Structure 1
Amino acid sequence: MSQNGIHHVTAIAGQARRNLHFYTQILGLRLVKKTVNFDDPGAYHFYYGDAGGLPGTILTFFPWENAAPGRAGAGELQETVFRVPQGSIGFWTQRLVNQGAERTTLFGETVLRFRDPDGMRLALVGLAGIEAEPAWSEGEVPAEHAIRGFHSVSLMLDKTEATGAILGDVFGFREVGREGDVTRYAVDGTALGGIVDLRAVGGFLPARLGRGSVHHLAFRAANDAAEMEMVRKLAQNHGIVTTEQKNRDYFRSVYFREPGHVLFEIATDIPGFAVDEPVEQLGAALKLPAFLEGHRAQIEASLPALA
Structure 2
Amino acid sequence: MDQRILGIHHVTAIANNAQRNLDFYTGVLGLRLVKLTVNFDDPTSYHLYYGDENGSPGTLLTFFVWPDVPRGRRGTGQAITVSFAVPESSTGYWIERFTAHNVEFTRPMRRFDDQVIPFRDPDGLMLELVARPVSDLSARAQKSAWTAPVPFAHAIRGLDGVTLCVESLTQTESLLVETMNFNPVRREEGIVRYEIGLKGFGTTIDVRCAPEIGRGLVAAGSIHHVAWRTSDEITQREWRQEIARRGLNVTPVMNRVYFRSIYFREPGGVLFEIATDGPGFTVDEPLERLGSELRLPPWLESARDELERALPPLRLPNV
Is this a same-fold pair by TM over 0.5?
A: yes
CA shift, 1:277, in A, is: 1.0
Flag structure 1 segments of 5+ consecutive residues without an equivalent: none
Q: Of residues 273, 282, 289 in structure 1, which corresponds to 2:281?
A: 273
Aligned to 2:140: 134
Q: How many equivalent residue pairs?
A: 306
Letter aligned with residue 274 of structure 1:
T
Report 1:20-31 matches (<5 A).
20-31=22-33
Counterpart of 2:103?
99
Note the C-alpha offset of 1:227. Answer: 1.0
- Which residue pairs with 1:38 in the alignment? 40
1:96 alignment partner, SS class? helix
CA deviations 1:3-29 (Å, max 9, x no partner) are 611110000001100000000010000
Partners of 1:280 and 1:261 lie apart in 2 by 39
Whole-angstrom CA distance in 1 between matches of 2:138 and 2:127: 24
Q: What amino acid is the match of 1:189?
A: L
1:182 equivalent to 2:204? Answer no
1:222 correspondence with 2:231: yes
Cα distance in structure 1, aligned partners of 2:292 and 2:25? 15
SS of residue in 2 equivalent to 1:235: helix
User: CA 1:119–1:184 in 2, change beyond 3 Å: closer, same or farther?
Assistant: same
Change (3 A) 1:68 1:135: farther
Question: Pick from 109, 114, 120: which aligns with 1:115?
Answer: 120
Aligned with residue 169 of structure 1, among 178, 197, 201: 178
Using the alignment, how far apart are the partners of 2:187 and 2:200 within structure 1?
A: 20
Aligned equivalent of 1:197: 206
Contact kept, 8 Å, 2:5 with 2:181, in 1: the verdict is no
Q: Distance in 2 between matches of 1:66 and 1:96?
A: 28
Q: Render the CA deviation track for 1:132-179: whole Å, top value 9, x for unaligned.
A: 731677232111000000001000111122112222233332111111
Contact 1:135/1:146 (CA < 8 Å) preserved in 2?
Answer: no
% identical equivalent positions: 46
Counterparts of 2:199 and 2:185 in 1: how far apart (Å)? 14
* More displaced 10-residue stretch of structure 1: 209-218 or 276-285: 276-285
Conserved in 2, the CA contact under 8 Å of 1:4 and 1:172? no
Decide whether the 8 Å contact of 1:171 with 1:230 is kept in 2: no
Moved more, 14-23 or 134-143: 134-143
- CA distance, structure 1, for counterparts of residue 179 and residue 141 of structure 2: 30
Which one-letter code corresponds to 1:301 in the other structure? R
TM-score, normalized by length of structure 1? 0.96
SS of residue matched to 1:203: helix
Preserved contact between residue 32 and residue 148 of structure 2 (Cα < 8 Å) = no
Q: Does 1:263 align with 2:271?
A: yes
Q: Which residue of 2 aligns with 1:74?
A: 76
Q: SS in structure 1 opposite 2:147?
A: coil
Alignment partners' CA distance in 2, 1:69 and 1:58: 23
Residue identity matched to 2:66 = W
Alpha-carbon contact 2:33-2:50 (below 8 Å) kept: yes
CA distance in 2, matches of 1:80, 1:56: 12
Q: Which residue of 2 aligns with 1:250?
A: 258
Please, what is the CA RMSD of the aligned residues? 1.6
Residue number in structure 2 paired with 1:295? 303
What 5-or-longer segments of structure 2 have no aligned partner? none
Report how far residue 40 of structure 1 moved: 1.2
Aligned pair in 2 of structure 1 residues 88, 304: CA closer, same or farther (>3 Å)?
same
CA shift, 1:83, in A, is 0.3
CA contact (8 A) 2:5 2:196 kept: no
Q: Which deviates more from structure 2 when the two are superposed, residues 16-25 or residues 186-195? A: 186-195
The aligned residue for residue 16 of structure 2 is 14
Q: Which residue of 2 aligns with 1:89?
A: 91
Q: TM-score, normalised by structure 2?
A: 0.92
